Structure 1
């Protein structure tokens, strides 16, 4: 087969209701992968990055959400990118590698030469074509995107050691208790179809061990607690760790940005990173304060075409305004995500906050926070249809849906 005919498929793991509690109250309304960052659903960023892969045949989204929750998005993005995107629902957890293996027949339908695997809750520039080129040079089974981080934060992730000359993965350990390396796994991979043989090998070993241990029911219960089901295979511990140092796996280091999107605070930080990236990839999506009839725009700002923004408002940096929002006279917005149907009345200020769908912020009110993205109350979050009355100040707080605030609050979670 000539290289020009080689097909590539991409699989994006979107997770689902079994997890994601850290994303509340925003995930009460919408699956986390569809939450907008820089005005586009979170999953849109890895999907549009996949579009740049040469000979891309198909994109699969794998998760636990009901299919209907993704149906509309999947059909619109397939039309927009002219690449088939399909949602595959997992019925039970199979682990990160087991989930891939579970749908192997579909994934291999087009006989692809390479399979990309991406995690949806990762924010980066996704240098996929460059990874594929490097992977072909290395000639192994898989290539992992890695990044250098501070030694203090490395232990929160999978740490790895690679050969400085050949880039071969020599050692891999998931969230180690002692420091191993300041290079970590970014959760973005490209594999040859041999990955399915490797996953099958782990499953087969488990089955063999299970058959050897035909035991009393008490022992069986004890064993089930210790040993995962035979079809539950984790990519990191079960595949990467044992294959390190066997000339099978290689690394590709990104010098660009990378973050993990576990909390609403991090989604605000990642929205800023994607807005900054739009300068190079999609400048048409950024707002420009041009002319006398438009608001003052500072830095990177996204405004949905259906939103109405008063010319005397001052917006940015790092602001994303969704569909049908109404921004009144003299409003100041800094580092915030304004969701669909929000109304912000005159002279209100919003900074370091996410304002939920159909919420209302009254005149001269302030919704604000310190902007510590990793702290529990580092940003202020208003759930759906929250009303903040005139001249009320909401600071470093989380407000659950359908609340009305007529007095100021600070560092509170309002249920």
Structure 2
């Protein structure tokens, strides 16, 4: 089945992590998010991938090429991001009159569940969630055997079954793409789904697992899922005085020095250095060529490629962008004293992360002076700096 994957957006809700790359190329375990999506699509039955690219699309082309691990890849460019229906219309030039699938490039899908969606087409992937008003909620027939429509973020949800952004459309759906702009000023794929529901039977297929990776803390969720599934594999240079406990992956070319304690699940990637005397716990990714130095503790965080947390620092429940440098003694707070969940500013609005513990988000190339303190939920923009001894209470 031809599978269209939408990967053109700017990822503004993921800023500043997307300042220099498209959101689908952010790291999840040992590969970009988009690579997991493509792999799930292939496992589900895709025999050709059509990638809709736009913002920083060259990075996607360079990574995947025209064939990825034997799977043909075609590219179409959405020059202006006018919505998901517009993205599909751009891709329709590559489609024939056969059924086709559409996936969001920032979604993680359980491969077995995705296969069930592919086999049930016309269909939409669905999942029951405790907070449906935060999603597009599916409207169902009385016996719940078919989808009749979708309502975006309703205050009074008609069900707890939400749209996961996984679709199988009949071939004639390429003639249904001329939908009007929504209230958001975009042409929405959900309006195409509404047309499909009017013209044919669309089955809701419940998925066992799915994750929308749209905001920085959801990158932690994604890594917790996929690193958590990895088996122990130690292939790098590990000092005999280091203590690796549980499901720890140390890739070839990584170095773990004397006195280090790593409590898995954790992944230390090629070229990364940990220690001496560092402590890694929770589900933590130390990406390629990152450095975790002497007496540094990192808990349940993503430390991206080339970042350096070299001396006497604490980083908890945080997302540290590429080439960030923390001065000695930088400490991240990750817990509110009132025990409320941490809030983060996303596109100018204060958003509840749903996490009791969440630290900071640091954009590419940010640098802190020695003894900087970063409060819960703060963001450092790409290239931002702090003075020695700074206490950062706001973005």
Tell whether the structures are fold-level matches, with TM greater than 0.5. Answer: yes
Q: Distance in 2 between matches of 1:27 and 1:147?
A: 27
Normalised to the residue count of structure 2, the TM-score between the two structures is 0.80
- Would you say the 8 A contact 2:114–2:207 is kept in 1? no
Q: Secondary structure at the match of 2:88?
A: helix
Q: Which runs of 4+ in 1 moved over 6 A?
A: 224-228, 282-286, 289-292
Give 1:92's aligned residue: 80
Which has the greater radius of gyration?
Answer: 1
Q: Secondary structure at the match of 2:301?
A: strand
Give 2:244's aligned residue: none
Q: Distance in 2 between matches of 1:10 and 1:384?
A: 32
Deviation at 1:67, TM superposition (A): 4.0
Pairs within 5 Å for 1:7-406: 8-17=1-10, 20-54=11-45, 56-75=46-65, 78-79=67-68, 81-93=69-81, 95-108=83-96, 113-126=98-111, 127-135=113-121, 142-150=122-130, 153-163=131-141, 167-199=145-177, 202=178, 233-237=187-191, 239-244=192-197, 247-256=200-209, 258-278=210-230, 287-288=248-249, 295-310=260-275, 312-370=277-335, 372=341, 375-376=344-345, 378-396=358-376, 397-400=378-381, 401-406=383-388
CA change 1:170–1:116 in 2 (3 A) is same
By percentage of residues, which structure has more helix? 1
Normalised to the residue count of structure 1, the TM-score between the two structures is 0.76
CA change 1:105–1:318 in 2 (3 A) is same
Give 1:4's aligned residue: none
Q: Distance in 2 between matches of 1:227 and 1:294?
A: 54
Question: Are residues 1:412 and 2:394 paired?
Answer: yes
- Would you say the 8 A contact 1:42–1:121 is kept in 2? yes
Deviation at 1:380, TM superposition (A): 0.5
CA change 1:303–1:391 in 2 (3 A) is same
CA change 1:242–1:176 in 2 (3 A) is farther
- Would you say the 8 A contact 1:288–1:297 is kept in 2? no
Measured on the aligned residues, the alpha-carbon RMSD in Å equals 3.4
- Would you say the 8 A contact 2:140–2:147 is kept in 1? yes
Deviation at 1:379, TM superposition (A): 3.2
Per-residue CA distance 1:201-251 (angstroms, 9 max, x = gap): x56xx8xxxxxxxxxxxxxxxxx99998xxx853212x3234436652111
